[in-house]
Amino acid sequence: MKLPIIAPSLLAADFGNLQRDVEMVNRSEAGWHHIDVMDGVFVPNISYGMPVIEAIQKHASLPLDVHLMIVDPDRYIETFSRLGAQNLTVHYEACTHLHRSLQHIHQAGMKAGVALNPHTPVQLLSEVLQDIDVVCLMSVNPGFGGQVFIEQTHQKIRQLRTMIEERQCNTLIEIDGGVTLTNAQALLDSGADVLVAGSLVFGSQNPEATISKLAALTAN
């Protein structure tokens, strides 16, 4: 049995009280801070820029799990390393030379993640899976919080878990979008390792207790 890594998405936090919410996550049973960076081009939304991430880093005591939903992410790999990201995830759909991008992230001293949009098959990662530390499966269409979970994600998790085991990789499977207390156990049972939760955590009356409920779940 293994415990999941819970990564509260700060995109759903109260930006007027961001330090408070970051410190709440620090105290909780979460494992990572999840930070979504959007450029309004790759996805139809814009989130925070470098100064806000720098401010988050000053107060965060947990690893920063940065998810780039931007075009040409290679331009900013060194920047996010300087900002203190421990994990840097780029989208398969945004990288012309994915293997080179993964090498660049590792050379910058970070763990390398690859995110897949709902329509992108996991099999497309077969040639680079050994170079990926985290695969982030988007279980909603990227760009906005609070969307409904896409049920096909369970099958993608199982397919990816089989690929990881066949290649004897240590790659983690992260689920981003529509995670609830109702479907979290099934996601772990399908093979997920990391659960990103934004609206679920920060929209609850007791965010710290909600994180604890997720962290207490187990999977085989």
How many other C-beta atoms lie within 10 A of the C-beta of residue 194? Answer: 25
d(CA 14, CA 213): 21
Q: Which two tokens stand for residue 75?
A: 């331009």
32, 172 Cβ separation under 8 angstroms: no
Which residues, 6 or more positions from 101, have their beta carbon under 8 angstroms from its beta carbon? 73, 74, 77, 90, 95, 112
Among 36, 39, 65, 133, which one carries the catalytic annotation?
A: 36
Q: What is the residue-wise DSSP string for 136-191?
A: EEESS-TT-SSPPP-TTHHHHHHHHHHHHHHHT---EEEEESS--TTTHHHHHHHT
36 is an active site residue: yes
Which residues, 6 or more positions from 22, have their beta carbon under 8 angstroms from its beta carbon? 10, 13, 33, 56, 59, 60
131 is an active site residue: no
Among 21, 133, 176, 193, which one carries the catalytic annotation?
A: 176
d(CA 127, CA 125): 6
Q: At 176, give phi and psi (nearest 5°).
A: -130, 110
134, 172 Cβ separation under 8 angstroms: yes
Q: Which two tokens stand for residue 70?
A: 């931007």
* Residues involved in catalysis: 36, 176
